[in-house]
Amino acid sequence: MSLNVPFVNLNNGQQFPIFGLGTWKSKPGEVTQAVKDAIDAGYRHIDCAHVYGNEAEVGAGIKAKIDEGVVKREDLYITSKLWNTYHRPDLVEPAIKTTLKNLGLEQLDLYLIHWPFAFKEGDSLFPEKDGKTEFSDVDYVDTWKAMEQLVKKGLTKSIGISNFNHEQINRLLESAEIKPVTNQVEVQPYLNQQKLIDFCKSKDITITAYSPLGSPDRPWAKPGDPQLIDDPKLKELAQKYKKTPAQILLRYEVQRGLITIPKSVTKSRIQQNIEIFDFELSADDVKYIDTFDCKGRVCAFNTAQEHKYYPFNIEY
Ligand SMILES: NC(=O)C1=CN([C@@H]2O[C@H](COP(=O)(O)OP(=O)(O)OC[C@H]3O[C@@H](n4cnc5c(N)ncnc54)[C@H](OP(=O)(O)O)[C@@H]3O)[C@@H](O)[C@H]2O)C=CC1
Ligand SMILES: CC(=O)C(C)=O
């Protein structure tokens, strides 16, 4: 079934669906079904990462739908991400191979450097000493060189970055042979990211918007923290358009030309979230939602703040 999800053109001549399924926090016991429900609902793009700890179960959902004949591999667009402990150039190819094995795939559509900063190499994904994260000083420019080899070897069709600021992108572009096709960053009305979006557009790099619903299930949310999805102004807009608050949030992203990847493991929400291509927000309402911005970042990775490549110490 196709719900006419538009495609976005990438700077390497390929295309990617503007809408996909997020899988962070989707428990191994529920994500296989979520992926199956999503594919049945018309999703063709799935956002994964080694650090989410569920790639084998995501892969089981993909395999089930291919085996049933619902989709072919070439209909799907699968993204994964290189974790911070594998930035050292010699660790990059083994890392993508682990991901491919877990997902049960021969090739990824897109592989991203998950964060610009590296962690100490080793068995732990979150190495710590005396209660502090142990860093590695591998330069993301060197990691990028190894990422380029993955395209040349056919292990992924495209490569990109995630959580990079504009200075880091400029620095990467100075020596990149292959340009990143996307920068996957948090974008939602409380953090509308207009400056970073404009900058990436000027470099022909798409933006993939993560946490588009404000990540209400983020593990560090405290009782009483503001929840975007419950914002009364958003609820008013939802009534006006006879849509849900989630659909307004997702429509806001795609109408700005951003690829968006809401996570859900709930069948009715998976269905609801893709039903955003049959209405349009007025230009005035998009501008109104822009005014919600309050520098309200939900995914700040504070434990890496002291790393020299921490991306959020400058404005954008
Ligand atoms: N590159 C990076 O560093 C990052 C990437 N990401 C990617 O982006 C994806 C999305 O971001 P994420 O932070 O997960 O958060 P989202 O903003 O997508 O929010 C997910 C939460 O919203 C709930 N939800 C989903 N649909 C609806 C709906 N229609 N109505 C009400 N609630 C709804 C989900 O509940 P339920 O599942 O129970 O239905 C879940 O609690 C991630 O899963 C991951 O793939 C995210 C963060 C960082
Ligand atoms: C969710 C995610 O991708 C993080 C925290 O890196």
Q: What is the pLDDT of residue 3?
A: 61
Q: Which residue positions in the chain have pLDDT lower than 50?
A: 1-2
| pLDDT digit string, tens, across residues 71-94 | 999 999 999 999 999 999 999 999
Does 52 qualify as catalytic in the annotation? yes
Residue 210 covered by a domain: yes
Residue of 43, 52, 210, 252 marked catalytic: 52
pLDDT digits (tens, 9 = 90+) for 213-248: 999 999 999 999 989 999 999 999 999 999 999 999
Strand partners, 191: 188
In residues, how long is the chain? 316
Please report the atom of ligand 1 found closest to the CA of residue 112: 1
**Considering its fold, how many domains does the chain have in total?**
1
- The pLDDT of residue 4 is 85
Closest ligand to the CA of 163:
1
From CA 237, how far away is CA 287, in angstroms rounded?
A: 13
SS (H, E, C) the chain: CCCCCCEEECCCCCEEECECEECCCCCHHHHHHHHHHHHHHCCCEEECCHHHCCHHHHHHHHHHHHHCCCCCHHHCEEEEEECHHHCCHHHHHHHHHHHHHHHCCCCEEEEEECCCCEECCCCCCCCEECCEECEECCCHHHHHHHHHHHHHCCCEEEEEEECCCHHHHHHHHHHCCCCCCEEEEECECCECCHHHHHHHHHCCCEEEEECCCCCCCCCCCCCCCCCHHHCHHHHHHHHHHCCCHHHHHHHHHHHCCCEECCECCCHHHHHHHHCCCCCCCCHHHHHHHHCCCCCCCCCCCHHHCCCCCCHHHCCC
User: What is the Cα–Cα distance from 98 to 95, expressed in whole angstroms?
Assistant: 5
Query: Whole-angstrom Cα distance, residue 255 to residue 289?
Result: 12
Radius of gyration of the chain (CA): 19
Supply the range of the domain harboring residue 16: 7-222+257-266+295-311
In a domain, 214, yes or no: yes
Please check whether residue 266 is in contact with residue 272, taking contact to mean a CB–CB distance below 8 angstroms: no
CB atoms within 10 A of CB 228: 22
Residues sharing a CB contact under 8 Å with residue 214, sequence separation 6 or more, in sequence order: 188, 190, 227, 228, 229, 249, 298
- Residue 280 domain-assigned? no
Whether residue 284 lies inside any domain: the answer is no
CA of residue 281 to ligand 1 center, whole Å: 22
Is 114 one of the annotated binding-site residues?
yes
For a mutational test of ligand 2's pocket, the pick from 25, 26, 50, 51, i.e. the residue with the most ligand atoms closer than 8 A to its C-beta, is 51
Q: Where residue 11 sits, what CATH number does that domain have?
A: 3.20.20.100
ipTM of the complex: 0.99
How far apart (Å, rounded) are the C-alpha atoms in residues 261 and 253? 10
Model pLDDT, residue 1? 43
What per-residue string of b and e applies to 79-116 under the rule 16 or more CB within 10 Å gives b?
A: bbbbbbbbbebebbbebbeebbebbebeebbbbbbbbb
pLDDT of residue 218: 97
Which residues does ligand 1 sit against, CB inside 6 Å?
Answer: 22-25, 47, 114, 162-163, 184, 210-217, 229, 244, 246, 261-266, 269, 272-273, 299
Does any domain span residue 140?
Answer: yes
61 φ/ψ angles, rounded to the nearest 5 degrees: -65, -40
Distance, in Å, from the CA atom of 99 to the CA atom of 74, rounded to the nearest integer, reads 18
Q: 271 lies in a domain?
A: no
Q: Is residue 251 part of a domain?
A: no
pTM, two decimal places: 0.98
Residue at 215 is within a domain: yes
CA 285 to chain CA centroid, nearest Å: 25
